[in-house]
Each structure stands twice: as C-alpha cells, then as structure tokens.
Amino acid sequence: MIDADKLLFIAYYAPQEVDIAANRLRDFISQFKEQGLNLMDGYAFPFTNPENIIDDLSQIDEKISTICCQGSFGGTLYFWQPSFEFSFSFLFEPEEDTEWIISIETGTLMGANNNLSEENALKFVEVVKTALKSYSPVYGCAVTLQEPPLPEDAYALEVMQLYPINFYDSNYVQNLGKERLLASPAWCVEEIANGVLLIPSIEAIYTDDPVSIRIVKEYFGWEDSIE
C-alpha cells in the first residue's frame, strides 16, 4: 500500500498560460460521462449514494465558465462512479506555465477493505489516457511521496526520473529513441496522444513497488532510483 494521502498525475501542459476552449472542455466532460463517470458538485456525498451529482446543463456550463473565463487561475472538476472518484484541475500560472492534475485519494484508490486497488488503478489509467488524448502535455508523471519534476526541467526535456506513470511527448520520444522506448520492459508502453505512455507495473500505482521501476530505469541507464 502506498504511504501517501493522494495519488497525483501531474501534466506539464504548456510552458506559458493558455486559454482553454469551453466547447473542448464540454466534450471532455462528455467523454467521462460516456465512461459512466458523473460530474459532481465537489466530492461525492454520501460516497455510496451521492446527492450532489450535476445533471443540469446550466450548472455544467457554470463549472466550465469558471475555468475558461478570461483571467481565470484555473479550476477543479470532480467525477464519481460507484467505488471510484477523482478530481481534475487546471492550474494557470500567470506569466509561467499551464498544468493539469488528476488527483485520487489513497483510501478511494485502495477501497474500504483494500480490495479495489488493482481495479481502481486500472480505472485511474483509463482516466489518465482520456485526459492525455484531450489535453496532450509535454510531459506527465504520477507521484505520491516522490518529488515531482520542476516545470522548467519538464519543458526543457530534462526529466530522467521514472515514476509509477510516465508520459513523454514526441520531443521526449525523439530524445529517448522511439524504438528503445517502446521496447522497454514495462507493463504498459503505449503510443498515445502524439507521445508514449509508460507504466512500469500496475502494482507500482497502488503499492510501494520500486522493483519494477528499477528494472525499467536500469534499461534506460538511469542510476537514481525511487525508494
């Protein structure tokens, strides 16, 4: 079991502040709806049978406008389905960069009796894939207790660390070598969103599993390991 309150997937979207189109964000929300995920007014309450599901189109538009309006610093959307929920946030840093983050509570990931860890980890991967296809970043990684990369390192293609989930855009792929990357000994190596998604093992998402990460790091010749 991971010794952290949350699992975060941090995507370094652009090295400058960007505008998020309302129609595109609306389509993004619809994709999750098609996957059985409900847009929520905050975290689900009560969790097993929540009363705060958002179905009204005007409420959905209000959530979208908060994120997409001029001068916005970002915003957070909450999604839920039975036994699973997460938040998706845009962060706009004036005169700096734009990031988006997917966050899931460790307790939700593991399940009430620690019996949903792999099932929910697989769902989390699908959520990440959906987000990557809609808002493809330069680089992305999942972190728990690990220190995430500095934005300037991510945009300069200088991240040589490995995390439980990793995404590399086409420039990273070119630097690392596409064939070499696709041949890495990882549980998932998938071309997606003009880049490559690499996951050392599904267990690394919900347990303290440095072995699978170390194996892939050794393959790339990266000495530092996540402990």
Distance CA 39, CA 57 (A): 11
Q: Are 151 and 99 in contact (CB under 8 A)?
A: yes
Average pLDDT, the chain: 93
Per-residue pLDDT, 144: 86
pTM for the full predicted model: 0.94
Mean pLDDT of 205-210: 87
Mean pLDDT of 22-27: 96
Distance CA 44, CA 39 (A): 10
Beta-carbon contacts of 203 under 8 Å, excluding residues fewer than 6 positions away, are 118, 209, 212
The better pLDDT of the pair 91, 210 is held by 91
Give residue limits of the domains in the chain. 6-220
Confidence bin at 134 (pLDDT 50/70/90): very high
Per-residue pLDDT, 72: 80
Is the per-residue pLDDT at 226 higher than 60? no
Distance CA 190, CA 220 (A): 17
How crowded is residue 128: how many other Cβ atoms within 10 Å of its Cβ? 22
Q: Strand 74-81 and strand 195-199: pairing?
A: unpaired
Per-residue pLDDT, 1: 53
Percent of the chain with pLDDT over 70: 96
Q: Are 83 and 62 in contact (CB under 8 A)?
A: no
The pLDDT tens digits of the residues spanning 78-100 come to: 999 999 999 999 999 777 899 99
